[in-house]
Amino acid sequence: MPPLVFVDTPVFLYAADERDGRKQALAREWVRWCWSQRSGRISTQVLNELYHNAITRFRARMPVQQARAQVRNLRQWQPPHLDTFTIDGAWALQDRHALGYWDALIVASAQQQGCQYLLCEDLPHQQRFESVQVINPFRVRPDELPLADEH
């Protein structure tokens, strides 16, 4: 069984951004892999950040209706609602690892969903936060990801 992978907002944004062809191709490869393996996970925070950034940064190329359609499509990944358990977990991560709150909330959401990996370029590559390891999606391809039972 493939590992569960939490996908941070910038991966989806790079997949839509044509200004950096290399990052766009890698982001699209990751998103396709997550769909095909049914291993992608997100949070409502990611959906909200994706929508906001899509309509502000890419308005000329991504009309509001297209951004909404993308968010609706990603709802199939069934992001859990933000609850007090996740917020408490984020506060603990924030204190223990000196993370900013929004990064801590992403890590806590990944932990809550049992993800082994977090695709994120904003946190140190291969940093481990208890059960979740950060993977920079622009340094590692999906086929280079260790399987969950190799841990």
Examine residue 26 and state whether it is found in any structural domain, yes or no.
yes
Question: How is the beta sheet containing 128-129 ordered, strand by strand?
Answer: 40-41, 5-7, 117-119, 132-135, 128-129
Q: Compute the half-sphere exposure of residue 99: CA atoms within 13 Å on the CB side of its CA.
A: 22
Examine residue 65 and state whether it is found in any structural domain, yes or no.
yes
pLDDT digits (tens, 9 = 90+) for 45-86: 999 999 999 888 876 677 888 889 999 999 999 999 899 999
Examine residue 67 and state whether it is found in any structural domain, yes or no.
yes
Contacts of 19 (CB under 8 A, 6+ apart): none
Examine residue 63 and state whether it is found in any structural domain, yes or no.
yes
Contact 16, 77 (CB under 8 A): no
Domain that holds residue 120: 5-79+116-139
* pTM, full prediction: 0.92
Examine residue 147 and state whether it is found in any structural domain, yes or no.
no
pLDDT digits (tens, 9 = 90+) for 2-47: 899 999 999 999 998 888 899 999 999 999 999 999 999 999 999 9
Strand-pairing partners, residue 41, are 6
Share of the chain above pLDDT 90, in %: 80
E strands, 13-99, where?
40-41
Examine residue 84 and state whether it is found in any structural domain, yes or no.
no
Amino acid at 146: P
